[in-house]
Amino acid sequence: MTRLPFILLGLAIILGAYGVALYNSLQRADESVNAAWSEVVNQYQRRADLVPNLVATVKGYAAHEQATLAQVVEARSRASSVHLSTEQLNDPAALERYRAAQSELGNGLARLLAVAEGYPDLKASANFEALQTQLEGTENRIAVARKDYIASVQEYNKLIRTFPTNIIARIVG
C-alpha cells in the first residue's frame, strides 16, 4: 500500500517524458516544414535574381522585343513583392497570390526564351547560354525544393493525425 504513490509517481513521470518526446517530434517536424518552405522561397528568389541579367542580354540582341522584356521585368517585380512567410502558409488567399506571381514570372521567362529562339546570334552568345543553363538548373532546384516541402508537410500531417501524437497536437494547438 505504501508503494502505490511511488508507482503512480513513476507512471506519471514516464507518461510525462513520453508526452515531451511526442511534443518535441512535432516541433522538429514543424521546423522541417518551415525549413523546406524557406528553401522553396530561396530557389524562387534565385530565379528572380537571374532575370535582370537575362533581360539585359536579350535586350542587346532583340531590342525590338520591348513588350516581352517589359512583361518579364514587371512579372519579376510582382513576384519579388509578394512574400509568403511560413505563418501565412495556412492562408489560401496568400498562397494563391504567391503561386500566381511565381507562375506569371515562369510564364514570362518561357516567353522570353521563346523570343530568343528567333535570334541565332543570341542563342550562340556564351553569356546567354550560361544564363539559360543557370535558369534551367534553378527550375530543377525549384522542383526538388517543392517536392521536399511536400514530403515534409506529409510527414508533419502524419504526425499530427496519428495516435498518440494527435492528442499532444490538440493539447498544444
Q: What is the pLDDT of residue 1?
A: 63
Cα–Cα distance for residue pair 150/148, rounded to 1 Å? 5
Cα–Cα distance for residue pair 157/144, rounded to 1 Å? 20
Average pLDDT, stretch 14-27? 93
Give yes or no for a contact between 61 and 119, defined as CB atoms under 8 angstroms apart: yes
Write the burial class of residue 23 (CB in 10 Å: 0-12 exposed, 13-18 middle, 19+ buried): middle
Tell me how many helices (H) and strands (E) the chain has.
6, 0
| Buried/exposed code over 108-135 (b: 16+ C-beta within 10 A; e: otherwise) | bbebbbebbeeeeebeebeebeebbebb
Planar angle of CA 31, 33, 36, nearest 5 degrees: 110
Average pLDDT, stretch 6-14? 93
- Residues 131-151: pLDDT tens digits? 999 999 999 999 999 999 999
Q: What is the pLDDT of residue 60?
A: 81
